[in-house]
Amino acid sequence: MALIVKKFGGSSVGSTEKIMAVAKRIIDEKKPNDKIVMVVSAMGDTTDDLISLAKGVSKNPYQYAREMDMLLTTGEQVSIALLAMAFKSLGQKAVSLTGPLAGMKTNDVYTKGKIVDIQPRRVQEELDKGNIVVVAGFQGSCENGDPVTLGRGGSDTSAVALAGALKADSCEIFTDVDGVYSADPRIVKDARKMKEITYYEMLEMARLGAGVMQPRSVEMGKYFNIPIHVRSTFTTNPGTMIREEYTMEEKDFVIRGVAHDDKVAKVAVLGVPNNPGIAYSIFSALAEANVDVDMIVQSIRNIEKNVTDMVFTVASDDLPQTKKIVDQVADKLNAIAVLIEEDVAKVSIVGAGMLGNPGIASRMFGALSRAGINMDVISTSEISISCLIKGAQLKAAVNAIHGEFFPPK
């Protein structure tokens, strides 16, 4: 007997036919006495459609964050109800639960909520009754009962957090790809599927744009020490195991993968005084608005006049709010100008093996140079190097870097 949490994304439940196929697969694979919790996203493009509806009544609907969450949480309610019905039509007991009904408690940061507690008593009660429990991912409720969504990829976080709270044996994340690859296989035809990867490396890849997993879900997996199996909805082949340490020969790789993110924007605040507290003025204002800032570079503009330029990146979705805040701060600081560049992308390499291996950065920069690609901003961590480049050159950059570290066999 095993307790398993299985998460299916929007493309996996994008139609009633796909929902029926998922239900049949789960029933066929279920062993006697297994306890199964399903976590599902909204069907197909439902979330995008709901956002489009919101934009029909407001150019910037995210300024009404609470109402956006009230709207967006309806998407998952459709898919959980239909999947529960599909199970029942096949003779399997099942019940659907929203995130709040499943015990997901969040903070009150609408559209970007974080799970602060899980009390899955109702889930356990329904499992004990012999039900497959179908839970809405991507959502919870804050202290006053309002629905709160968990941001991009939040259903992954819901699944792993629920697996941890239930002390599940494993958590399976079903996607439209059959595992974690050394690069996006839609961009790099020679991308290699990994048999396993550590939480540490997967967290860095997810943070830097690898869309197969969401960073907070990996953090949850590490916190609860829950093995995460990323696999395909459309095959029964093994995927990629995310765990604490390697058990196979893959630990010998210096670089584990090339990640990219094309949903970023560059903001440059030009000609601000080079004095203590200036950076704090800019970034504290953004922090209060829950805007995540990524790459940051400060460079001297004029030594004689003691002025500097502050350059940083934010997620594209946060750009309207960022521009509004930065314009206000820039006025107070008497900045020369605020420049916004949206045709940018970030490309990164990740690997714990680069520690103690000199020359990794030069190989990455050399690959970009040979491809005729200029680097605008560079940032590093212990196990990653990231470069900001022109958005139109992203595909060429990813292929050039991947070819350097993963030459064709």
- Euclidean distance between CA atoms 368 and 349, whole angstroms: 12
Place of tokens 């197909």: 44
Question: Which residue type, as a one-letter code, is found at position 335?
Answer: A
**57-85 average pLDDT score:** 96
pLDDT band at 304 (very low <50, low <70, confident <90, very high): low
φ/ψ of 157, rounded to 5, equals -65, -45
Q: Which pLDDT value is given to residue 1?
A: 79
CATH topology classification for 3-175: Carbamate kinase (3.40.1160)
- Euclidean distance between CA atoms 273 and 116, whole angstroms: 39
Q: Give the CA count within 13 Å in the CB-facing half-sphere of 327.
A: 8
Q: Are 377 and 299 in contact (CB under 8 A)?
A: no
pLDDT band at 250 (very low <50, low <70, confident <90, very high): low
Q: What are the start-end ranges of the H helices in 271-359?
A: 278-288, 319-333
Close Cβ partners of 404 (under 8 Å, ≥ 6 residues apart) = 363, 364, 366, 367
Q: Which pLDDT value is given to residue 177?
A: 84
pLDDT band at 151 (very low <50, low <70, confident <90, very high): confident
Q: Which pLDDT value is given to residue 85?
A: 98
Specify the DSSP element, H or E, that contains 18.
Answer: helix 16-29
Q: Are strands 344-350 and 377-381 parallel, antiparallel or unpaired?
A: unpaired
Mean pLDDT of the chain: 93
Per DSSP, what are the bridge partners of residue 193?
Answer: 181
Close Cβ partners of 249 (under 8 Å, ≥ 6 residues apart) = none
Question: Which residue type, as a one-letter code, is found at position 366?
Answer: G
CA dihedral 51→56→58→63, nearest 10 degrees, is 0
Per DSSP, what are the bridge partners of residue 228?
Answer: 171, 242
**241-251 average pLDDT score:** 75
Q: Integer distance in angstroms from the first to the last C-alpha of the chain? A: 42
Per DSSP, what are the bridge partners of residue 386?
Answer: 348, 379
What is the sign of the dihedral through the CA atoms of 50, 52, 53 and 55?
A: positive
Q: Are 207 and 152 in contact (CB under 8 A)?
A: no
**172-176 average pLDDT score:** 91
- Euclidean distance between CA atoms 199 and 203, whole angstroms: 6
pLDDT band at 176 (very low <50, low <70, confident <90, very high): confident
Nearest to 353 by CA among 271, 244, 254: 254
pLDDT band at 356 (very low <50, low <70, confident <90, very high): confident
Domain spans of the chain, in order of start? 3-175
Residue 365 has pLDDT above 80, yes or no: yes
Tell me if residue 386 falls in helix, strand or coil.
strand
**4-23 average pLDDT score:** 95
- Euclidean distance between CA atoms 28 and 33, whole angstroms: 13
Residue 241 has pLDDT above 60, yes or no: yes
Per DSSP, what are the bridge partners of residue 37?
Answer: 5, 133
Q: Which pLDDT value is given to residue 211?
A: 79
Question: Which residue type, as a one-letter code, is found at position 220?
Answer: M
Q: What is the DSSP letter of 191?
A: -
Please write the tens of the pLDDT for every residue from 185-227. 999 999 999 999 999 999 999 989 887 888 889 999 999 999 9
Specify the DSSP element, H or E, that contains 206.
Answer: helix 199-207
